[in-house]
């Protein structure tokens, strides 16, 4: 018979665990703990995370390390967390420990109901250069959509808004070599919002990069 001890022995690829301020989206400014898992089903050239470098940790170790932080608000990010088949076990243990859990996902995988019941917030960041967002498996509902302005993403933004129901829609400047294309992003915001009178697209800067924190 499977026991809770067996669940706690499951291993996950942890890139990093740290406490910081959420720097983007609707939760910007919140003090949170970050759990970044390795592995991804995309390969974005401007990604700021090497998700191939990680340390395998069991659930018990993850919980012990998180307990050293001041808050029980957790951002589960990656990589892409939803590629891990035993993620439900990790989420269940985190929720049992009293964590508010926000998931950051690229949207290629629609979280199944058993996973969603443990999630308090879902932020999805579809990538215009990736393929597969037209497929039935993509996410259809989230709390926020954040799209990085990497090239001409006007049509992609409109398509994602039609496909993904969300409370908030954000555009984020693309950061390359420390430079953000803020002017280009603002121009796109104007184009997208010109005839949009309810729940307009808004700007989401990566404030953690601007102030030099993780």
Cα Rg of the chain, angstroms: 17
Closest CA to 139 of 118, 161, 117, 172: 161
Average confidence (pLDDT) over 87-106? 98
Q: Return the domain boundaries, the chain.
A: 4-210
Residue of 137 and 116 predicted with greater confidence: 116
Average confidence (pLDDT) over 208-214? 57
CATH topology of domain 4-210: TIM Barrel (3.20.20)
Place 130 in a pLDDT band, splitting at 50, 70 and 90: confident
Place 187 in a pLDDT band, splitting at 50, 70 and 90: very high
pTM of the model: 0.90
Instruction: Give the separation between CA 204 and CA 40, rounded to whole angstroms.
Output: 23
Per DSSP, what are the bridge partners of residue 33? 19, 74
Amino acid 55: pLDDT: 97
Residue of 136 and 121 predicted with greater confidence: 121
Residue 146, pLDDT above cutoff 90: yes
Amino acid 2: pLDDT: 54
CA angle 137, 138, 144 (to 5 degrees): 150
């Amino acid at each position: 018979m499977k026991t809770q001890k067996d669940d706690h022995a499951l291993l996950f690829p942890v890139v990093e665990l740290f406490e910081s301020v959420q720097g983007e989206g609707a939760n910007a400014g919140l003090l949170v703990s970050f759990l970044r898992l390795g592995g991804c089903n995309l390969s974005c050239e401007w990604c700021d995370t090497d998700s191939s470098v990680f340390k395998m940790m069991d659930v018990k170790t993850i919980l012990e390390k998180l307990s050293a932080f001041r808050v029980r608000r957790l951002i589960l990010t990656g990589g892409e967390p939803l590629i891990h088949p035993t993620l439900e076990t990790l989420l269940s243990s985190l929720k049992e420990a009293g964590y508010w859990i926000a998931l950051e996902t690229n949207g290629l995988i629609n979280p199944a109901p058993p996973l969603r019941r443990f999630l308090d917030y879902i932020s999805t960041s579809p990538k215009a250069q990736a393929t597969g967002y037209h497929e039935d498996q993509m996410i259809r509902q989230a709390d926020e959509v954040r799209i990085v302005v990497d090239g001409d993403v006007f049509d992609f933004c409109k398509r994602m808004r039609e496909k993904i129901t969300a409370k908030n829609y954000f555009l984020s400047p693309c950061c390359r070599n420390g430079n953000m294309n803020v002017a280009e992003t603002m121009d796109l915001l104007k184009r997208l919002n010109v005839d949009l009178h309810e729940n307009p697209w808004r700007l989401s800067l990566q404030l953690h990069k601007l102030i030099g924190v993780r």
